[in-house]
Each structure stands twice: as structure tokens, then as C-alpha cells.
Copies of this chain bind each other. A is one copy, B any other.
Amino acid sequence: MKKVSMKDIAKELNTSITTVSFVINGKSEEMGISPVTAKKVRDLIKKRGFNPNSAARILRTGKSKTIGLIVEDIGNYFFGNIAKVIEKEAHKNGYNVFFSSTENNDNTAKELITKMRNSSVDGYIITATQGLKDDIVKLKDENVPFVLIDRLVPNVETNYVILDNYIGSYDLTKHLLDNGYSRIGFISIFSEMSAMVEREKGFMNAMADADITVQPKKILKVTFGETDENIIKAIKKYLVKNPDIDALFFATNYLGVMGIEALQQSNLNIPADIAVVSFDDNDLFRLLSPSITVAAQPIEEIATESIQLLLRIIKKEQKPLKTVGEIIKPKIIIRNSSPKKTKKA
């Protein structure tokens, strides 16, 4: 069951491979192939079910019409939907998407970049991991088109599309403060990546602007990749150690989910006992009673901007070396988990 090739088509039509190639690539007019010949070629291609071999084309042209998408975790709501939108947009532009999860592991990320490089991807959209700086710098030095999303690499100028994490965090904290909460706990992950750093800074600055000192023990950081159970356990322990907090700020989607589980297991009511706000939105936050106040990331916008920026770079419409990034504004959605605080007896 041999696959049919351009040679077969050419032979059957008593023409040359060149002609067939021109027709396939829509260059028949430009190259002056007679419409009659072109039609004959097109018809036979359809009849024989011919499809050009990608490997040969890539080998020859060095272009794969494929972009590599490296995310943290494709199983996560945020990245799964980012991937979905990027894929759709890429297909619209004739590009395929190769995607893969780093699980926030540097080595996995490095391997993925090399692997995709060997597959001749035309460009990357990357969610960087913590120790990826050298590899990003290398891509940049070698003029490989790429766009960073979700987080920046400190001290490296690149193209990027990120959320304004600082503002989201500041505003979410301000909202709690405005509603009368002051003993606010902040739950995040250990990370030097920009997104997490900015979220913490936004929280701290909002607190400072309200003249509130944040005690270190009010801040809990867990390790990325820790099991759900251990995260929940850590949050429960934190709750016992901090009985005075009146509100909790979760710095990510999955921490919020784990946190709600921990609160339920600790028999603490939202918002009567503790108000809750979280970064990112999801079905749970929206439909839980009470629904959770969040700083939502406009997924569609982030995904669309990043793929379009990348395509512009690939098509050389935009200099890759000049820092051109998009900063997307988060959307604060106020729900029922953070109402105006009622005076306690």
C-alpha cells in the first residue's frame, strides 16, 4: 500500500514533477502553467488522493508550518483553553500546533525545546519554567521566533503576552480591604517566576498602602507539583495556626480549589468565617455557593494575541529582537465570597 507521490502524478500525466509541484503550491499562474495542464494535475491529485509528504517538504524548505506550544500543564483549565484557542487560530493561518507540558520542570522544558527544534517548528509559544533563562537567550540569539506567555524570564528582553498580575492582585486585595477585611492571608507557591512575584507584590503593596503590616506567618507558600492531599493538609495546618484571619487570597486557580476543599474540611464557612478571593476563574468558582470573587484572565485574548504576535514575527512583519509585548488586563469579578464585612460582636 504505497503512498502516491508527485512523481507518480507526473508520470501518469506525462508531465514533469516541477509542473505538479507548481500546481500544488498554487504557483501555476505565476509560473505560467497552462490552465488545461493545471486542471489535469488537480483532477488527478484528487482522484489519486495525493497529499504532499511533509517530511520531504520540511527537509527541503526548512519550514514546517508548525508552531510549538509549551505550556505548564495541558490538563489545567487555563492552559487547556489557551491551547484550544491557539490551535484554532493557528489552523486558520495554515499552521499546525505541537504542544507539550513542562509540569514546571526545567529539564522537561529544555528537552521539549530541543525536540521541537529538531522538528523544525517555525516558532514557539512558551510558558517558561524557572531555570529556562539560558535556553530562552539561546533562542533569541539564534533568531528563532518565539513569544513568552503567562510569565517573563527576568532580565531578558523578549516578545511576550502576559497578564498584568500586579494590578489584578492589587485590585483583588483592595477589594477585600474596601469591604472591611484586614487580616488577610495570602496563599501562593514558591516561585521566582514573574507572574507569582508580581501577584505577591500586588498583594503586599495594597496592604502597605492601607498601612497594614503583613505578618510572615500569614503568607503560605507551597511547592509546585506537591500532591493535592499535601497542599490541602498544608492549608489546613495554616488555618489552625492563623485563627484570626478574616479573608484568604489564593494566588492561583488550583490553590483556590485546594483551599476551598481545605476550608470545607475545616468546617469554616465562606464568607461568614473567612472571605475568599482567588486568581483565575473556573466553573467551581462561578457556581459554588457562595460564588468566589476572582481576578479572571481573559483566556481568549491572551491566546489570540500570542499566536498573532508569533505569526507576525515568523512572517517578519515584526522584529523579534525588539521587545514588543502585550500586557492584558485581568478582569475582577466580584461575587459572593467577599461581601462587605459585617461587624462581629
Neighbouring B residues of A117 by C-beta, 8 Å:
51
- Contact partner of A120 (CB less than 8 A), chosen from B55, B260, B286, is B55
CB of A52 within 8 A of chain B? yes
For residue A115, CB closer than 8 A to chain B, the reply is yes
Smallest CB-CB separation from A61: which chain B residue?
Answer: B55
When C-beta atoms are compared, the residue in chain B nearest to A73 turns out to be B84
Within the complex, what minimum Cβ distance (angstroms) separates A215 from chain B? 29
Decide if A304 is an interface residue (CB 8 Å cutoff). no
Nearest B-chain residue to A90, judged by Cβ:
B100
User: Out of B52, B81, B100, B143, which one reaches A75, CB within 8 Å?
Assistant: B81
- Which residues between 88 and 110 of chain A lie within 8 Å of chain B, taking CB atoms? 88, 96-101
The chain B residue sitting closest to A282, CB to CB, is B283
Choose from B75, B83, B119, B287 the contact partner of A288 (Cβ within 8 Å). Answer: B287
Is A342 positioned at the interface, with any CB of B under 8 Å from its CB?
Answer: no
Interface string of A258-290 (1 = CB under 8 A from B): 001100100000000000000000111011110
Render A124-167 as a binary contact track against B, CB cut-off 8 A, 1 for contact. Answer: 00000000000000000011000000000000000000000000
By beta carbon, the residue of chain B nearest A82 is B75
Q: How far is the CA of A84 from the CA of B75 in the complex (A)?
A: 6
| Residues in A56-71 with C-beta less than 8 Å from chain B | 56, 58-59, 64
**Contact of A84 with B74 in the complex, beta carbons under 8 Å:** yes
Which residues from B are CB-within-8-Å of A51? 114, 117-118
Check if A257 is an interface residue, CB within 8 A of chain B: yes
Contacts of A76 in B (CB 8 A): 80
A191 at the A/B interface (Cβ < 8 Å)?
A: no
In the assembled complex, the Cα of A255 lies from the Cα of B60 at a distance in Å of: 48
* One of B53, B96, B98 near A59 (C-beta < 8 A): B53
Q: Which residues of B contact A118 (CB under 8 A)?
A: 51-54
From B64, B84, B100, B115, give the contact of A55 (CB < 8 A).
Answer: B64
A75 vs B100: C-alpha distance when bound (angstroms) = 14
**Residue A87 interfacial (CB < 8 Å):** yes
CB of A68, distance to nearest CB on chain B (Å): 11
Pairwise interchain contact A80-B74, C-beta atoms closer than 8 A? yes
Min C-beta distance of A124 to chain B, whole Å: 15
Asked whether, in the complex, the Cβ of A54 is within 8 Å of the Cβ of B119, the reply is yes
Q: How far is the CA of A288 from the CA of B55 in the complex (A)?
A: 49
Tell me the complex Cα distance, A282–B285, Å: 13
Return A303 CB to nearest CB of chain B, in Å.
10
25 contacts across the A-B interface (CB closer than 8 A): A1-B142, A1-B143, A51-B114, A51-B117, A51-B118, A52-B118, A54-B55, A54-B118, A54-B119, A54-B120, A55-B64, A55-B119, A73-B84, A74-B80, A74-B84, A75-B80, A75-B81, A75-B84, A76-B80, A80-B80, A84-B101, A96-B115, A261-B287, A264-B287, A283-B283
